[in-house]
Each structure stands twice: as structure tokens, then as C-alpha cells.
Amino acid sequence: MDPICSNDERTKEAMIRTGIFGASGYTGCELIKILSCHPRAEVTFATSETYTGGTLADLYPAAPALPLISAKEAPLERIDVAFCCLPHTASMPLVQKLRRADVPTIDLSADFRLDSAEAYQRWYRAEHTATELLPEAVYGLPELNRAAIRNAKLVANPGCYPTGVLLALAPILREGLLAEPRVIVDAKSGVSGAGRTPSFTTHFVEVNENLSPYNVGHTHRHISEMEQEAEKLAGEPIHVTFVPHLLPVSRGILSTIYVRTAKPLSAEEWVNLYRQAYAEESFVQVLAPGQLATLHHVNYTNRCAISLTPVEGTDTLILVSCIDNLVKGASGQAAQNMNLMLGLDERLGLE
Amino acid sequence: MDPICSNDERTKEAMIRTGIFGASGYTGCELIKILSCHPRAEVTFATSETYTGGTLADLYPAAPALPLISAKEAPLERIDVAFCCLPHTASMPLVQKLRRADVPTIDLSADFRLDSAEAYQRWYRAEHTATELLPEAVYGLPELNRAAIRNAKLVANPGCYPTGVLLALAPILREGLLAEPRVIVDAKSGVSGAGRTPSFTTHFVEVNENLSPYNVGHTHRHISEMEQEAEKLAGEPIHVTFVPHLLPVSRGILSTIYVRTAKPLSAEEWVNLYRQAYAEESFVQVLAPGQLATLHHVNYTNRCAISLTPVEGTDTLILVSCIDNLVKGASGQAAQNMNLMLGLDERLGLE
Amino acid sequence: MDPICSNDERTKEAMIRTGIFGASGYTGCELIKILSCHPRAEVTFATSETYTGGTLADLYPAAPALPLISAKEAPLERIDVAFCCLPHTASMPLVQKLRRADVPTIDLSADFRLDSAEAYQRWYRAEHTATELLPEAVYGLPELNRAAIRNAKLVANPGCYPTGVLLALAPILREGLLAEPRVIVDAKSGVSGAGRTPSFTTHFVEVNENLSPYNVGHTHRHISEMEQEAEKLAGEPIHVTFVPHLLPVSRGILSTIYVRTAKPLSAEEWVNLYRQAYAEESFVQVLAPGQLATLHHVNYTNRCAISLTPVEGTDTLILVSCIDNLVKGASGQAAQNMNLMLGLDERLGLE
Amino acid sequence: MDPICSNDERTKEAMIRTGIFGASGYTGCELIKILSCHPRAEVTFATSETYTGGTLADLYPAAPALPLISAKEAPLERIDVAFCCLPHTASMPLVQKLRRADVPTIDLSADFRLDSAEAYQRWYRAEHTATELLPEAVYGLPELNRAAIRNAKLVANPGCYPTGVLLALAPILREGLLAEPRVIVDAKSGVSGAGRTPSFTTHFVEVNENLSPYNVGHTHRHISEMEQEAEKLAGEPIHVTFVPHLLPVSRGILSTIYVRTAKPLSAEEWVNLYRQAYAEESFVQVLAPGQLATLHHVNYTNRCAISLTPVEGTDTLILVSCIDNLVKGASGQAAQNMNLMLGLDERLGLE
């Protein structure tokens, strides 16, 4: 019995061999579940230093019984692509090793998302020790950066908050429709976003029947990504005021975004503009006027749902953007990036 | 066995006799629990048209076995104060009857919160049929309106959202510290705020593991109260952009409020300003700089917790305001108003 | 954009055309999600009387935008198999019509699960008006009844509670290992098992932070199925004491089962016995000694996880059995039955 | 502002001075909240080794800002009664010290619940190092042991599971109504029962949308208490099969109990028998026939709600017993014991 997927129908074509580094966290596990059902990929090995010798099923009751090995023993020559699910700073030496071995790499940490070592130092308060790789690293948001990802050997998978926020803002930034170069993002995230390490913050009794803001204002590290990519889209610096809240759910991020716009459009016009912008996209769902995005639109999918509501009599537009933080916000997007890097249909394994 | 409170120690002084109209909803039940433990009050009768003949314990397992009678049979001459927990528009004829009988009345509906019948018509899309009572109705937010409440015979208990928002904004509005006359309120409410009537919106499976915005922009009826009272405090019209979200918790409202301020104050200065403003208040808790208000600060209490975070390098101030929607947002505040109207210590039964 | 599945790879072989009657409930929606990803099936039509003219996406934000038609207009000649997701008693006339049209049918209601009209009358307090179909109806628990299902034209899809309980008890009943012909089942179910119709029972505030037993003892209708099928397995009548509880989760059933056994086996021996019994099964997971089944083992899968713990020094064996009530307990099992009836690999679309 | 209680009305009589050892856990915090509102008690000091120098409000947003001192510095001479909320084994030396100082003590750990050091060693796998105190320790379940508690200087506050189970079983055990000396207890507990220390077991993502059995069979330590006290009530050894489950709620324990009875009584007769047995009790609520106990009957109260359902045609009786694990299952019961030890009305501070 294969608890996740039968490979029977997948043997006709050569399978892509993947290696997962840091498999014991929530993103590692989710990625393995996705790849186990991918028609063209297989997991060749998965690493965990803490749980070396065990299997993924020891950690997650519904996961496949994949053996966990030490990264030191991982046979790099036997994989076609690597995923790094390590914490930031831990990722840098591993990615260096992978790139020296010429393994195409998708890094889910923050280590290669920022263009400059200075920005990294400023936001992450750690030295960047793999600056030689920064020029080749591509920010892996396929809807904004597809061509570069197709040619990339190192993809920096975006953070969960930036994914939902940037997809919501991109059309308006590209069109230059902001009345002022600042946006307010009021975001709410499920607890899996805080990782699997037990802490008082993630204790059931502290989260349940509660809602907690954290890193209020201009302090959360994901702001660095949002502002960097927003500036590229807008052609000018954009200031992001950001208030994340810890929500008593396991999965999902909902971002309520407040912007002032230069052009008074109706709800229908905004929806049309966004539907045109995302006409070719499989994973962006622009809701009809009057509908509002919720976590239930996106959980357990690779989709981003976006709703648009102009505030009558004002220049304010309210966007609501939802993603599943473990799928489009992490492992699903990583698989989407893999598909692009390897020339496959972007949607494989994600529908 | 008295399931809630022993009255043994309460008999020394004459007890205040209360009548509860519309006892079967969440606010009615919460009010009865509060009054049952109040050292100076007792519930003389409770009405429910739907459940006439039953008891409150039939509806709520932990509630006292108080008989529910029809409002038609309620002996108005035997009570010292009435609480109306009926839906808006249903409250108007009952309050008229109570005031004709000269019963001091606290109305928990929206019917007497707005100063003008026109505003009521505009926001509630219903004719106001008790306009003769509007001049005497006092908006029952004790921290802002204590003197008037003390002398009132008809108190309009505020809405849940406006209570938390107005307490958070009052000091800044009074001091004229807004840089522009508009605020953004991103609010999140527990499901008891949606009432006890079963609907798809309150179905467990729809709410659980979800977050849903609703009435986005400038459409929620509570905006009328917020803008009316904010204007009184500020001396100029204030525009409130308001996005409420339905949160998968039973109780509590957290409002994240974004304002631009005319004066650059540090976190310490903001906290000092608010602590001075609320120095005499028992039910407003201004958190220390760096602390952030959460639902756990306030649930099952009559408190409003407020935190203040200026965004460095900008003129934006982020306030987080939390209340228990059933206590400070409804029934606790109603009891606080009763205490004031009857010359008691405002805190009785609420600590 | 196809929000659920791309059919690109499914066109090589003729697709099985399915019709879903009663698509608006939780089981209907789950079934459509499963079939939409099934490599050999497609949904030809879906019916709903309440929502005729709308689409499934109007009801469920993540569902495909499938039009909902009236059952009266459903083109029976265009489908290869029908699924009835109607409530009990409503199913009977529809199944009669489908069988008259010679459409292979899987009925998810209770109408064809009991062998005798008398038992149906006794447990469901309604007359059975399609008794002519009872002889051909096959109880659709594939792990116990696979051969009959393969040849069936009418399959009665089992109830959610009986599925988990019978899979847990089957090996012990077949082997005659009970010391007395009675079992105690303490079951806990997520709220989707109570259906989508709003009621006080399913109101978020009533379910959340609560646990509620219901139909305690020998009264729940699913007992009729459990006892009927248990008797077939054991060759003698088995009495089931059954206490279901409503659990504050959306999905999943965990049944804790207490039996006294005729033979003192160790945990290892029990696990071996069960692993042998289910050696060929793809969807039964017998946990290792010392491991205990939880909802997280099975949710969003078609699996049943079973753990076995003998109580040292006694003849008591404690089984814990978990399923996802919407998948193995309803729609997943229905798809499994369809696969069997149509000669496909039983696992298609379910892994 | 006193965030919990005004003491204004409590100064007429001398206040009982209490010391809380181990105040930082959930039971310590709950106890302090209860005592802070107790009309005749006050908290003189609270200790915590981990958080020495901080206040309780640092740990719990809604708790009073009580300073936390080291136990070494606690002025024993200034208190009238001590509460020990330390883990088992840590309690023994402290209780020895308190008793040497002649401070009446209520110990919330398991260290003095078992009558014999051998039993302690067997169940807790630790040596009992304060055996000299075992003879004077009284098992603090007031409804069963009130007279002894009134005269005790050392009360062992019962475990949370035993409290609900023993109250449910006591009448039937005392009357000798069991058909066989064994009972099955299927218990479900909220997460606060697992304590405040972060672990994978209490991680939100692991608990949420899950249900997990643990310590299945005859292994959970609380069985020792249940069997010890049940034997005293029944006059013969009673075997308890016990399966606890971790429930995704913060508070509350529901125990579903299966017994075979020697006498066939109707639901009404069982209820009458229990209501007579508990006629004088303030904190035991025997539900009417047909009603079923739920967590909502008892949460945030010191009550135990019990429902009784005989299974028609069998000798099986199903009891459902609910308590709030932090109140009647720990800190409320401790306050009840204090009231008894000090000659106060048992209900003070608990209603």
C-alpha cells in the first residue's frame, strides 16, 4: 500500500528526481505530499538532521513513510532538482553546495529573496555569506516573473505574505494607478505559518479563541520583499504599512489591503482590469464584483483569490487577497517553480 | 441550588428590580448572567415571544432557570429599570411603551443611537416611528458620556464595533491630532456578534478554519454611529473606512485602526497621552509601549484594551482595540449604564 | 481557467459520465470535487432543487462552477452511473426511476442499506416504498463486499459511523473472537456529518468550545446498519451500544470501540492479525503497536486508520478507528464503489 | 484600577491570607483569578521560579499584575493557607516545609492523593519522600469527603479526570448497584489539562481539527486515584478501563461512562436516585431524563453536570459527566477545599 499515490500511470515518461532538504517542517511535509502526487516527479530523498533515521510518517500521521537522512549523506548526483526548506541563514551554505554541484535549486527560505546583501543584513540582522549567488537568484513568483524562472538555476521562493500581497497589488502598480506610493496591509495568518517548533506563541490554549497582532507597523521581515518587488512593478519606491495577526486556524492567509487610487473606477471596471491582467493565469482567481475572498476559496489549493471593492465617494480601493500559506504561499508555489524550471506544464501536480 | 449566584449577601439593601425584554438572544442571556451576580440587582422578569413558557436554561445549559414570559404580560410596574434586547425596529414600540410608563430604559438595539431620523432611515432603511424619543435618548458610552447617562431615562447602548473603535479614537479626536479627517478600521469579530439565529453564515463548517470579510467599505450600519460620535469628539466630520471580518471564535472584537497624525509622538508619548485621558476609567486598559492588545486581554471582562504603535518614519499611528462583544460591546456596558442611571458604583457586578 | 482539474491527460480513454443528484449538500460537493479530479470520470450534470439555475461555486467558494439543474430535467440517457445524495425517503422514488432507466446507481442515503423493509420502518419510522429494489441492493463497503459490488447495479453506500466501526470490527467478528456478542462504540464526529442545513445544533457558537453527546444508547439509526452487517460477519446477533458526540471540528470521525475478546492476544498479535486481514487493502491502515489513530491520520483521504490496544490483565481490547466522514464515510467510498462497479482500479481518483 | 476585583466590600471582616506556590501554570493563574474575586480571601504572595521578578500579567494578559517571587523568599508566617501548584514530586519537599511551619496546605499535585507510597511508586515511577505526611493527607473531593476536609491540615486536591468520574460513579458505587466491578471511562479533555509547557502535543496545528487518544487502557496515572476512591465507595476493588482523548478546545472534560447495573431502573429512577444523593450539593447538577451533559453546562463554573441514560433492553447505564478541568477539576475545587478547611461557606467565591 502506497499511502499517498500510485505511480502506476507515471512510469511512461522519465520521472524528475527531487531532493528535499529540511523535510520535517510544515513546508517540507506539504511539498512531499505535493510531489508524491505529481505525475512527473518523485522524491528521491528527504533530509532532516533532527529526525535522521526516522520517517516522515513518524512526524505526520498522513504523510508517506519516507526515510529521513542527514543532508551530509544526500546523493546530489541522483537528483534533477533540489528544494531547500531550511530556516534562513541555514540555507546559504547548502545552496552554495548545491549550485557548485550544478543542481537546479528552489530555496524556500528568505536567503535569496532580497537583491542586495545590505538589505538582507538590515532586515534579517545577519550577514549574507553567499553574495556571489545573489545575481543569479530569481524571485520565484511565476505570475510576475515567469520568463526569468524558466531560465533560472536558483529560484528564491517568495514569502507567504508577499505572495498574496504582490499578486493583489501587481496590476495596480504596473498601471501606475496609485494616488500615493503607500499601501496598508492588514494580514491574518493561520498558525502553520509560525512553523512547527513548539512555543508559547503556538500553544493551542494561547491561540484558540484569540487573535493576536504581531510585528506591527514597519518591522516584519516580509516587508523587505514586498517593497522591493513593488518598487520594480511601480517604478518608484512604495511604502508598505503591515500588520500581521495570528489567526486561530491551521492554514490560510487573508490580506486586507487599503490603497488610494489615482483613477475612480467602478467595481466592475476594477474586476475587468484585474481579469485582463490575469487572463492567462491558472492560479489567480479574480472574484466577481460584490464577492469577497475568504480562506475557504483557497485552502488546500495553489490559488490566490482576489476581490476588489472601491469605497464609494472616496479614492480608496480595498483589496482582499487569500492564499493557502503552505501551498501558494510556500510548497505549491515551489512546485510551480519547479515545473517552470524544468519545462513542464506549470499546473502539473497542482490541480 | 441556585446555579449562578447566592443572593445571601445582597439582601441588606433594597435590590434593583430589572426586566429583560428579548432574553433569548446572546445579549439577553449574557445580561441575565451579569445581573444574576450583581450585588444590587435582580431579574424580575425576562421575556421571549418565541420561547414563552420555557426557561432560559432550556436555551443555554449554563444559564439560570428563569421563566420566559411574553412581553405582553410583563408587569412594568414591578421593575425599576428595563433592558430591551430586541432587534432594531422591534425596539421602538416597546421603548415607547416603557417610557410612557416612566420606566428608565436601556435599549441595546440601534433604534435610539442615531441623533436624527433621517440618518436612521438612510442607514437602516426603515422609518423611525419613535422620533419623539430621540431628543431624550443618550448615547450610552460611559467613558465619553458619563454625565448625560447619569441623568438619562433612555440610554441607547452602543453597537459592539463602535464601542471599541470610539474608545480607541476618542483621545486623538478630542485633541485634534488627526492629520486628515479619515480613519481606516479593519475589524474582526467573533460569531456571537452575528446573533443566535441559525444561518449559513453562522454554520460551524462555514466559519471554522475560515475568515470572511463582509460589508466592506462604507456600508456597515455601525459606521453611522462611529461617524456621528467621532464628529462630536473632533468637531469636524470624520470618514470611517470600515472592513469587518467574521472570525472563527465565539467572542471578542479586535479592531486594527490606521490613522495619520498631525504630531509625531513616540510610543511612550502616545501611551502617556492615552493613560492620562483614561486615568479615571476602570474599564479602559492602555497597554504599555511594545505590548499589543489581543482578545485574551478582554474576553469575559467589561474591559477595552488599547495598544498604540506609531510607524517609524511616517505619520501613521496604528491602534489596536479589543473588547468582548457580549460584555463591553453589549450587556456589560448595559449594566454599566444601569449602574450610572441608578446612582450606583459604575463597577458593580462587572469585576 | 479550470478551477479544479485539467482534463488534458484524461481524454485518451472514454470518460465515464456521471450524474449527481442532490449536489448542494456536503457529500454532493465533496463527490464532485473527487470526480472532477478522477482520471476516468467526469460530471455530466448535477442537480439541486433549491439552487436550480445557480452553480456549485455559488455555494462553495472552492468548488467548480458546475451548473445546478432540476432533477426533472436530468438527461438520464447521457450518464453511465448516477449518484444519489438526497436525504433518506427522498431517495427511493429517484432510485426507482434510475433503475427503471437501467442506470447503475450508487445511493448515499440510508434507503437501501437495510435488508428488510421492516427494519427500515422500525429505525427510520417511515414506510419503505421501493421494496422491490431491496433484493438487488448491495451494501457498499468494498473491503467487506467487493465481489458483490463489482456485479451490482444498485449500491447502498454505507453510513459514516458504520464504515469506520465495521472496518474496525470485521476481522474480530469473522474470526469469532468476541467473548460476548456486544460491543461499545464511543464515537466522535465532526460537524459536516450533521449536514449543511443551518440549525441551532450546527451554530458555531453552540459547537465551538463544546462537546455534545446525542442519541445515546441504542437509538441512533446507524446502529441498524452496524448490527445487520456485524451479524453477517459474526454469524450471530451482535448488540451495539453507541454514543455519538458532536466534535468541534469540520471533518472526521473517531470511534473508540470496547470489546471483550475470547483469546488473550498481545498488541503485536492483534496488529498482525489485522494486517493479514487487510493485507490487500489500499484504504485500511493498521497502525503499529503503541500507535493510536487520530483524525489527522485520515482527514482529506479515503483511508480508515485502525489502532488496537489490549488492556493488560483483562480480556478487553480497545480499537480506535478513524475516517474522514466526507471521504471514506461518504463520497470517497461512493467513488470507490463506482470504480468497482465499472471495472476500474478501485483506487482511481482517490489517492 | 484593579483589573479583577474591587476589595471595597471585603474589608469588614479579616481577610484570609493565601500563598500560591507555582503560580505561573494554568491552575495557578486560575486559582489567583478565583481568589482575587473571593469575598473573604486575598493573595498575599505568588511564587514562580521561572518568572521570579515578573508579574502574573506578563504571562496572562487578563490576570492581575501580581508580583512573582521565588518560593525561597515566601513569608510563610504571613499566610493562613497555602496552595501548591507544583508538578508532582516537586510538591513533596515544599509541603513538608509548609506543614513543619504549620501552614494549612492544599496541594494540587498528585503527591498526596494516593494512600500508600507503594501505589505512588507504581503509578508515578518515583519514590515518595514525604511518607510521614500520607496519614494526615485528606483526599479533597468535598462531595465525598466533606467532614474530613473540614478538619484537615493537608488536603490533596483531586485530579481533573477523577473528579468528574468519581462524582458520576459515587451514588451507584455506594448503593452497590454495579453488576460487575468494572467500568469503562471514555474521557475527552481540553488542552489546558496538558499544561502550559509548549510541546508538539499542545501545538495548535497538531490539536486543531484533530482528536487524539492517549494513554489508552489501564495506563493513565489518574486511574490510581479513581480505583482507590471507587474501592472505598464500593467496598470492593473496581477496575477502571480508561481512554482519555485530547480535544480541540481550551477547557472542559467530558467523560462518557459505561457500567452494567444490578438493578433495572428507568431514566427517571436513576435521575431521582442521583438527585437524592446530591440533594445538598451546590456544585453537582443532575440533568433531567433525556438531557445530556455538555461542556457548555459547566465551563467557567465549579459545577459537575451529570446525565444518566439506561440502554433499553440491557443492563447498561451510560453516564455523562462534565466539569471545567481548571475550575471543579483543579482551582475551583481547591478554593472549595479552602473554604471548608477554614470554616467558611463552601460556595464563597465560586458562584
pLDDT in tens, A159-181: 999 999 999 999 999 999 999 99
Contacts from D116-124 at CB under 8 Å and sequence distance 24+? D119/D224, D119/D228, D122/D224, D123/D221, D123/D223, D123/D224, D124/D88, D124/D89, D124/D221
Residue A1 pLDDT = 30
Task: Identify which of C277, C178, C162, C168 has the alpha carbon closest to the alpha carbon of residue C229.
Answer: C162
pLDDT of C12: 54
Q: What are phi and psi of C260, to 5 degrees?
A: -105, 135
E-only strand ranges, chain C:
16-21, 41-47, 68-69, 81-84, 105-107, 137-139, 154-156, 182-189, 212-213, 239-246, 253-260, 284-286, 304-310, 316-323
Half-sphere exposure (Cβ direction) of C293: Cα atoms closer than 13 Å: 30
Is there a contact between B26 and C204 if contact means CB atoms under 8 Å apart? no
pLDDT at D12: 54
Q: Using 50, 70 and 90 to split pLDDT, how confident is the model at D66?
A: very high
% of chain D with per-residue pLDDT over 70:
96
**Angstrom distances, CA of residue D346 to CA of D283, D285, D305:** 10, 16, 18
Mean pLDDT of A125-149: 98
CA nearest A204 in D: which residue? D204
- A58 CB neighbours in chain D (<8 A) are none
Residue type, B195: G
The shortest CB-CB distance from D3 to any of B1, B6, B285 is to B285
Q: Which of residues 185-244 of D touch B (CB under 8 A)?
A: 209
CB contact under 8 A, A296 and C39: no
Contact A312, B223 (CB under 8 A): no
CA D289 to chain centroid, in Å, comes to: 27
CA distance D114 to D226: 10
Q: D62 pLDDT band (50/70/90 cuts)? A: confident
**What is the layout of strands, in order, in the sheet containing D105-107?**
D68-69, D41-47, D16-21, D81-84, D105-107, D154-156, D137-139
Q: Beta strand pairing status for C182-189 and A182-189?
A: unpaired
Residues in chain D with CB shorter than 8 Å from the CB of C310 are 217
Residues of chain A contacting residue B207, judged by C-beta atoms under 8 Å apart:
none
Residues in B 304-323 with any Cβ partner in A closer than 8 A: 307, 309-314, 316, 318, 320
Q: Which one is catalytic: A29, A84, A85, A160?
A: A160
Chains touching chain B at 3 or more Cβ pairs under 8 angstroms?
Answer: A, C, D
Instruction: Please provide the average confidence, as pLDDT, over all residues in chain A.
Output: 95
| Percent of all residues in chain A with a pLDDT value above 70, rounded to a whole number | 96
pLDDT in tens, D209-244: 999 999 999 999 999 999 999 999 999 999 999 999
Contact state of D320 with C295 under an 8 Å Cβ cutoff? no
Q: Please write the tens of the pLDDT for every residue from D25-52.
A: 999 999 999 999 999 999 999 999 999 9
> Does B251 contact chain D (CB < 8 Å)?
no
Contact at CB, B301 and D62, closer than 8 angstroms: yes
Residues of A in contact with B311 (CB under 8 A): 217-218, 241
- Binning pLDDT at 50, 70 and 90, where does residue D8 land? very low
CATH 1.25.40.10: does it fit domain C8-158+329-341?
no
Contact A199 D204 (CB under 8 A): no
Question: Which residue from D61, D285, D303 is facing B296, i.e. has the nearest CB?
Answer: D61
CB-based contact D305 B61, cutoff 8 Å: yes
Q: Which conformational region is residue D274 in: left (phi greater than 0), alpha (psi within -120 to 50 degrees), or beta?
A: alpha
Is D6's Cβ below 8 Å from some Cβ in A? no
Q: What is the pLDDT of residue B351?
A: 84
Per-position DSSP letters for B224-240, written without gaps between them: HHHHHHHHHHHSS--EE
pLDDT averaged over every residue in chain B? 95
Just list the catalytic residues of B.
160
CB contact under 8 A, C61 and A4: no
Smallest CA–CA separation between D22 and chain B, in Å? 22
Nearest to D203 among A198, A248, A249 (CB): A198
Interface mutation target, options B186, B188, B192, B211, chain A, most CBs of A under 10 Å? B211
Residue D37 annotated as catalytic? no
Q: What's the rounded mean pLDDT across residues D94-121?
A: 98
CA distance to partner chain D, nearest, from residue C306 (Å): 12
For position D9, what pLDDT does the model report?
A: 47
Tell me the shortest Cα–Cα distance from B331 to chain C, in angstroms: 17
Confidence band, pLDDT 50/70/90 cuts, at residue A90: very high
Size of interface C-D (CB pairs under 8 A): 138
How far is A105 from C135, CA to CA, in rounded Å?
A: 60
Is A37 in the C-facing interface, judged by CB distances under 8 Å?
yes
Question: What dotted CATH number matches B161-324?
Answer: 3.30.360.10
How many CA atoms lie within 13 Å of C21's alpha carbon, on the beta-carbon side?
28
Please give the pLDDT value at position D4: 37
Which of A208, A211, A307 comes nearest B294 by C-beta? A211
Say if CB D95 and CB D111 are below 8 A apart: yes
Whether B292 sits inside 8 A of A213 (CB atoms) is yes
pLDDT digits over C340-349, tens only? 999 999 999 9
Alpha carbon of C163: minimum distance to chain D alpha carbons (Å): 18
Please state which CATH number belongs to domain D161-325: 3.30.360.10
Calpha distance D292→D320 (Å, rounded) = 7
Residue B12 has a pLDDT of 54
pLDDT band at A351 (very low <50, low <70, confident <90, very high): confident
Q: Given the DSSP bridges, would you call strands C304-310 and C316-323 parallel, antiparallel or unpaired?
A: antiparallel
pLDDT band, residue B5 (cuts 50/70/90)? very low
Q: Do B292 and A214 touch (CB under 8 A)?
A: yes
Q: Is it the case that residue A8 has pLDDT exceeding 50?
A: no
Q: Which of these is catalytic: D29, D84, D85, D160?
A: D160
Mean pLDDT of D274-291: 97
Å from B209 to nearest chain D CA?
A: 9
Strands A253-260 and A239-246: unpaired
Q: What are the domain boundaries of chain A? A: 8-158+329-341, 161-325
The answer to whether the Cβ–Cβ distance between C218 and D254 falls below 8 Å is no
How many other β-carbons are positioned within 10 Å of the β-carbon of residue A93?
13
**pLDDT 10s digit of each residue in chain C, 351 long?**
333 334 444 445 689 999 999 999 999 999 999 999 999 999 999 999 999 999 999 999 888 889 999 999 999 999 999 999 999 999 999 999 999 999 999 999 999 999 999 999 999 999 999 999 999 999 999 999 999 999 999 999 999 999 999 999 999 999 999 999 999 999 999 999 999 999 999 999 999 999 999 999 999 999 999 999 999 999 999 999 999 999 999 999 999 999 999 999 999 999 999 999 999 999 999 999 999 999 999 999 999 999 999 999 999 999 999 999 999 999 999 999 999 999 999 999 998
A203:D196 CB<8 A: yes
E-strand ranges in D122-280 read: 137-139, 154-156, 182-189, 212-213, 239-246, 253-260
Question: Looking at beta carbons, which residues of chain B come within 8 Å of A218?
Answer: 311-314
Cβ contact, residue pair C351, A5, below 8 Å: yes
B258 contacts on A by Cβ (under 8 Å): 184, 186, 241, 258
Q: How many residue pairs bridge chain A and chain B with CB atoms within 8 Å of each other?
A: 138
Chain segment B68-105, per-residue pLDDT in tens: 999 999 999 999 999 999 999 999 999 999 999 999 99
Catalytic hit among C84, C85, C160, C304? C160
The DSSP letter of residue D180 is S
Of C198, C208, C209, which is closest to B198 when you measure between CB atoms?
C198
B257: left (phi over 0), alpha (psi -120 to 50) or beta: beta
Q: How confident is the model at residue A12 (pLDDT cuts 50, 70, 90)?
A: low
The pLDDT assigned to B14 comes to: 86
Could you say which of A188, A307, A309 has the minimum Cβ distance to residue B211?
A188
HSE, CB side, 13 Å, CA atoms: give it for residue C242.
22
Query: Which of C37, C282, C297 has its CB closest to that of A61?
Result: C297
| Minimum-distance CB partner of A211 among B210, B247, B307 | B247
Tens of pLDDT along B203-260?
999 999 999 999 999 999 999 999 999 999 999 999 999 999 999 999 999 999 999 9
Residues of chain D neighbouring B9 (CB-CB closer than 8 A): 39
